[in-house]
Amino acid sequence: MKFLSNIAGRFFKRKAPLTDGQSADQAFGGETRPHGKVVIPEAEHGIDRRRLDENANKVVYRLLDDGHEAYLVGGCIRDLLTGQRPKDFDVATGAHPEMAHELFRRSRLIGRRFKLLHVRFGREVIEVATFRAGHDTHPANEGGDHGRQSESGLILRDNVYGTLEEDALRRDFTVNALYYDLANHSVVDFANGYQDIKDKVIRMIGDPEERYREDPVRMLRAVRFAAKLEFDIEPATAAPIDELAPLLRDIAPARLFDESLKLFQSGHAERVYRLMQQHNLFGQLFPQAAASIRNPGNYPVEELLLNALRNTDRRIRQRKSVTPAFLYAALLWYPMQQRMDQLLKQNRMPPLQALHEAANEVIGQQVRSTAIPRRFSTPIREIWELQLRLPRRQGNRAERLMEHPRFRAAYDLLLLRENSGEDLGGLSQWWTDFQNANSVDRDSLQQHTDDDEPKRKPRRRRRPSRKRSNSGSQSNPEQQD
């Protein structure tokens, strides 16, 4: 283990360590500073005060009243400057977490690796982070176990407190390092983020390779913000990603699951996906899906994935809910299907058993990269299992299937499969008609189905044959159990 090096020190080659009371400007002496502190007045940045968050403002004012430095920071300022709606408002302060905790009745300290304060206002939570810096910067931090890095440079603990400027320089991208000062409504910029927003570039603060080694998740964040803001990733920031992408294997799968949702539920999932493929990131998070895309066999693997992502983007634009279970069920459908095909070829077993085995294997593999919680993996299995049941519609089965809690999601996956080019004989159209039909029409749809269903045992007396419905209710033989 080596201790965290000083963050500002990594950014600029510095001669002497920064001491308390000495400004960064003084410490850097004659060395070239790529940027200094730039204050952008309200008249210039033009952020509408009414778009700020009342509760976040309350937190900042309370901290200021108590004599601490405090700012709105990060994604919210970036989003306000780019005309987007901020997802949440974060606060950065000079007050230590325990100190800030005492100021807010409804607040809770969280995190070990990165200690934070959550201040609750009804359903809204404002995250308050203390300015961070490198371990060796402040004598107050010496002797403790506040900051830690692994041999490979990965940050294991990041609780070394510092100044506003140090806090700015330890953030990931320049566009994420802007502070809003409520005392005079200016924006404070140490990393040239304001200009990068104007130029539409995602630029890493400091040395990109070193910063990715500290936290490989920053590679995913680069593509997420580039997709969301429609910015370019600046060449030096993009360059190391391809080679360093495998470092994501060192990240806890639970954290990567959360990141996967941020990536694909951002409203820009299709763009995120293309950037992830371009930068060798998709296969790190979804090795099985990436392999299926490379070797799709007869399945429209990438088409289905793209359709699922476009669907998700559309739903988010319409402010409809999107469920991680559906997203993952679509993402892993063909890997599961291909494994199921193999199992059916190798062993004689009923399709449902093959599906269960394949599902176990595929989900079992996936959770090693992104830890899908059980509350999502159970519905994924159900959505898959329903793909085998949807072709079987005899008697009152169709009505019963519609009552299944996962019916809607399973029907959506069926639609996606057929729309992506899988030949299911118009099964999704049948289900569309069936759901839209009144009870008389349902009877008729079902009668046609009865004829199309393969019979388990030959019946003694055959009924007179009826014409097949146009909607095509042929079932896919592979899907029968």
Mention every residue, 6+ apart, whose C-beta is less than 8 A from residue 341.
Answer: 478
- The only residue of 6, 93, 149, 176 in contact with ligand ATP, by rule CB under 6 A: 176
Q: Which residue's CB atom is positioned nearest to ligand ATP?
A: 75
Q: Is 199 a catalytic residue?
A: no
Q: Is 90 a catalytic residue?
A: yes
Taking CB under 5 A as the binding criterion, the range among 74-82, 144-152, 325-333, 335-343 that sits at the site for Mg ion is: 74-82
Question: Binding mask 217-246 vs ligand ATP (x if CB under 6 A, - otherwise)?
Answer: xx----------------------------
> Which residue, 172 or 418, is less far from ligand ATP as judged by CB?
172
Determine the Cα angle at 252 with ends 250 and 258, to 5°: 125
Using the minimum distance from each CB to ligand ATP, give the nearer residue, 76 or 401: 76
Least Cβ distance, residue 320 to Mg ion (angstroms): 22
Q: Note whether 335 binds ligand ATP by CB under 6 A.
A: no
Contact 386, 403 (CB under 8 A): no
Please list every residue from 58 through 77 that binds ligand ATP, using CB under 6 A: 74-75
For CA atoms 63, 68, 72, 74, the dihedral sign is negative
With CB under 5 A as the rule, give the number of residues binding Mg ion. Answer: 2
Number of residues engaging ligand ATP in binding (CB under 6 A): 13
Q: Of residues 172, 189, 196, 313, which has the active-site annotation?
A: 172
Residue in 215, 341, 433, 453 binding ligand ATP, rule: CB under 6 A = 215
User: Is residue 88 a contact point for ligand ATP (CB under 6 A)?
Assistant: yes
The closest alpha carbon to 96, from 136, 56, 126, 140, belongs to: 140
Cα distance between residue 57 and residue 126, in whole Å: 10
Q: Is 389 in the site for ligand ATP (CB under 6 A)?
A: no
User: How many whole angstroms separate alpha carbon 100 and alpha carbon 108?
Assistant: 10
CA–CA distance, 171 with 392 (Å, rounded to integer) = 55
Residue 145 appears among annotated catalytic residues: no
Is 61 in contact with 182 (CB distance < 8 Å)? yes
How many whole angstroms from its chain centre is CA 282? 12
* Distance of alpha carbon 301 from alpha carbon 229, whole angstroms: 28
Of 79, 90, 158, 196, catalytic? 90
Separate counts of helices (H) and strands (E) for the chain:
25, 12
Among 10, 60, 75, 335, binds Mg ion (CB under 5 A): 75
Interacting residues with ligand ATP (CB under 6 A):
74-75, 87-88, 90, 171-172, 176-177, 215, 217-218, 262
Active-site amino acid positions? 88, 90, 172
